[in-house]
């Protein structure tokens, strides 16, 4: 399982092979059942998660009590309430497993110690989160710019496998649609 993370790190920065063994002690491998929470809004956020297997969604409860999906994480993606993780405060978001999930978890203290021991990993985390932030910016642009039908078409083209793994009501929330409207669009695209 650690090899998957090491391979991911290797895509973004060079860590000497003789230092790879230093990384593992800072992580804990955890499994989560389908629909189990990795993090609950309002609780202290003490970890971030590297998804080895499965899919999760990041959400918050709106004032009207409905869940708003704002992000997903699949294999080889990082997820957390990053502000709460960094500041060691209560989470503004929840993370829940859509499928059974295996993850490598690291605490803020362990990450700090790891980066002290292997400063080369600063480049890795910088590049990964820069890429993630860029993707969030593009998502916002698409949400504001594209008509709903075009937004759905774009999402289907960019992430065809993903749309098969995620329940339609979660995808609808993520795209800013009602489940009924997404159902209408799906029928339109299938026929």
* 27-56 pLDDT, tens digit each: 999 999 999 999 999 999 999 999 999 999
Look at residue 141 and tell me if it is in a domain: no
Burial of 50 (0-12, 13-18, 19+ CB in 10 A): buried
The answer, yes or no, to whether residue 124 has pLDDT greater than 70, is yes
Output the domain CATH number for residue 98: 2.60.120.10
Domain encompassing residue 70: 2-136
Q: Which residue has the higher pLDDT, 54 or 162?
A: 54
| Rounded Cα distance, 39 and 35, in Å | 12
The pLDDT confidence band at residue 133, using thresholds 50, 70 and 90, is very high
Q: Which residue has the tokens 């929840």?
A: 94
Look at residue 85 and tell me if it is in a domain: yes
Last residue within a domain, chosen from 90, 106, 136: 136
170: which residues sit within 8 A by CB, 6+ positions away?
57, 69, 72, 98
Q: Residue 162 has what pLDDT? A: 81
């Amino acid at each position: 399982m650690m090899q998957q993370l090491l391979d991911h790190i290797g895509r973004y920065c060079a860590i000497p092979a003789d230092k790879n063994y230093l990384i593992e002690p800072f992580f804990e491998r955890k499994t989560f059942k389908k629909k189990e929470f990795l993090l609950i809004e309002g609780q202290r956020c003490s970890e971030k998660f590297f998804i080895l297997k499965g899919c999760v969604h990041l959400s918050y409860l709106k004032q009207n009590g409905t869940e708003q999906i704002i992000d997903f994480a699949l294999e080889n993606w990082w997820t957390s309430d990053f502000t709460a993780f960094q500041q060691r405060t209560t989470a503004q978001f929840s993370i829940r497993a859509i499928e059974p999930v295996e993850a490598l978890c690291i605490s803020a203290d362990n990450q700090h110690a790891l980066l002290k021991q292997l400063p080369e990993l600063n480049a890795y985390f910088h590049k990964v989160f820069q890429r993630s932030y860029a993707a969030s910016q593009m998502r916002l642009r698409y949400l504001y710019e594209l008509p709903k039908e075009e937004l759905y078409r774009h999402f289907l083209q960019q992430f065809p496998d993903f749309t098969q793994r995620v329940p339609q009501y979660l995808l609808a929330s993520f795209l800013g649609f009602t489940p009924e409207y997404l159902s209408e669009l799906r029928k339109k695209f299938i026929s």
